[in-house]
């Protein structure tokens, strides 16, 4: 169980946010408050769980504090919704879907002797509030982080706090993942999942070692992007940090994150903006379409397993277990395809005698489809992906002389690989929403929607 210090730090975070917003410009205060809270505050189960309210964890507390400070200092008129009607509709659907889910799940569900209760309207209210809090970093980033300078500040924040975090990661690689236990008094995950390749992979204060590896990929991509678009002494610093972060990335011992980095780095370092936008949109499209491809059996699972087995039998066994669970959970989701099964584990298969879970949800996509159905899934994943689709569409009207932020492609790719990682994992974080909001804000306010009309010369007689 979390100790008193964990709850004290969580409760005091709004005060820290006040200090940041009074000391820094609004954009930097927003970046540092969301990023520092995500990295350093104690993770669940350290939450404040009030009746009839969603649990308040480090992500929601940071989002509420930042939202409150922006409204207090700049007024509610400083907050903007996207110009796109599609994005607005997806946001409304994202928040409202839990109401439809609850209304279509009022009946209890039984597995032999074990039963799960039907959902009540009070749970719909809590789930809708939770969805609204999840969206806050997206709205804040769209409103306050939509310039080229803001994008550089985001990448710099990843690098600066990433460097500080890497020191803690090295401690856990050497001594074992103990920091959360030493400081906050509990392990946030199964310890045996943090042992890989004859050593330890760090977890620090995040939810799992995979979350740490994904952040390592983000901070590495940020350092490489800043290296490419800097000069003089800063370029040397970013070169050294990129090499150092590469070592940290490998020490995280996540095959998926290392593979993402192997694709990300040459794209950020060498490729032009148009191909960066195209790859980002392609990865987002794969993330959106994966459940459809899975249902149609277009995913060559047997061939993938055969190749993974040749490399690592343990990883192949883990992947087969994942594929089998996805198939069972997808079959169950088809029984409630529109709005899903709702909360309380109703989307799972339970042991009919003991009530123990017989299924495991890893990917964010299968969790969302099971809980909120295809409507909730499309609302969430299309909203994630919409900034990348808009960026891809507007890239076709760009001319060679048109200026775009040099950091735009790197941010788009970092977001795209995060979205793609939602297929095997549930690595949705406030950073995902912040990146999406910042990209959509820049795209809608600084990139042309259509080519300007050609001018013709006329001769005056």
pLDDT tens digits for range 265-290: 999 999 998 999 999 999 999 999 99
Side-chain-facing half-sphere of 90: CA atoms under 13 Å: 22
* Counts of helices then strands in the chain (DSSP H, E): 16, 4
pLDDT tens digits for range 127-169: 999 999 999 999 999 999 999 999 999 999 999 999 999 999 9
Cα(213)–Cα(424) distance, integer angstroms? 14
| φ and ψ at residue 199, rounded to 5 degrees | -150, -165
Residue 319: predicted pLDDT: 81
The tokens describing 178, both together, are 């103990």
The tokens describing 237, both together, are 């610093």
Which 3 state secondary structure label does DSSP give 115? strand
Residue 308: predicted pLDDT: 80
Label residue 306 by pLDDT band (50, 70, 90).
confident
Residue 91: predicted pLDDT: 97
Residue 66: predicted pLDDT: 97
* C-beta of residue 78 within 8 angstroms of C-beta of residue 67: no
> Is pLDDT larger for residue 189 or for residue 347?
347
* C-beta of residue 50 within 8 angstroms of C-beta of residue 442: no
Ranked by mean pLDDT, which of 302-306, 396-400, 430-434 comes out on top? 430-434
Cα(461)–Cα(444) distance, integer angstroms? 43
Does the CA dihedral 243-283-139-394 come out positive or negative? positive
| Residue 430: pLDDT over 50 | yes
Which 3 state secondary structure label does DSSP give 268? helix
Cα(410)–Cα(455) distance, integer angstroms? 34
Does the CA dihedral 436-87-279-439 come out positive or negative? negative
């Amino acid at each position: 169980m979390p100790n008193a210090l964990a709850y004290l730090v969580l409760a005091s975070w709004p005060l820290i946010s006040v200090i940041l917003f009074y000391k820094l410009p609004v954009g930097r205060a927003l970046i540092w408050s969301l990023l520092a809270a995500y990295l350093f505050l104690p993770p669940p189960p350290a939450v404040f769980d009030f009746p009839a309210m969603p649990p308040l964890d480090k992500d929601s507390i940071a989002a509420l504090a930042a939202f409150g400070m922006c409204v207090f200092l700049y007024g509610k008129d400083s907050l903007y919704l996207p110009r796109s009607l599609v994005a607005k509709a997806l946001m409304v659907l994202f928040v409202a879907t839990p109401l439809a889910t609850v209304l279509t799940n009022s009946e209890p569900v039984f597995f032999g002797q074990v039963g799960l209760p039907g959902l009540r309207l009070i749970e719909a209210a809590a789930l809708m509030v939770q969805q609204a809090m999840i969206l806050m970093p997206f709205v804040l980033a769209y409103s306050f982080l939509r310039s080229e300078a803001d994008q550089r500040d985001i990448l710099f924040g990843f690098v600066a706090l990433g460097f500080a975090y890497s020191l803690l990661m090295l401690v856990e690689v050497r001594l074992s993942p103990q920091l959360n236990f030493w400081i906050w008094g509990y392990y946030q995950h199964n310890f045996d999942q943090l042992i890989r390749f004859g050593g330890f992979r760090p977890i620090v204060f995040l939810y799992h070692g995979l979350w740490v590896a994904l952040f390592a990929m983000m901070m590495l991509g940020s350092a490489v992007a800043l290296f490419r678009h800097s000069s003089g002494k800063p370029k040397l610093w970013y070169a050294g940090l990129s090499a150092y972060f590469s070592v940290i990335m490998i020490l995280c011992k996540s095959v998926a994150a290392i593979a993402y980095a192997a694709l990300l780095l040459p794209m950020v370092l060498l490729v032009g903006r148009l191909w960066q936008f195209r790859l980002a949109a392609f990865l987002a499209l794969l993330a959106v379409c994966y459940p459809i491809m899975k249902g149609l059996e277009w995913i060559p699972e047997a061939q993938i397993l055969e190749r993974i087995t040749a490399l690592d039998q343990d990883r192949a066994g883990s992947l087969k277990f994942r594929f089998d669970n996805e198939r069972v959970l997808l079959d169950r989701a088809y029984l409630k395809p529109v709005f899903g099964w709702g909360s309380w584990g109703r989307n799972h298969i339970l042991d009919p005698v003991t009530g123990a879970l017989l299924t495991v949800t890893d990917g964010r996509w299968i969790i969302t489809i099971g809980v909120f159905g295809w409507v909730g899934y499309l609302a969430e994943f299309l909203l994630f992906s919409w900034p990348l689709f808009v960026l891809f569409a507007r890239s076709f009207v760009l001319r060679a002389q048109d200026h775009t932020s040099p950091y735009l492609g790197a941010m788009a790719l970092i977001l795209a690989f995060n979205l793609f990682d939602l297929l095997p994992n549930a690595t949705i974080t406030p950073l995902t929403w912040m990146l999406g909001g910042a990209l959509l804000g820049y795209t809608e306010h600084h990139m042309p929607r259509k080519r300007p009309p050609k001018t013709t010369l006329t001769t005056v007689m």
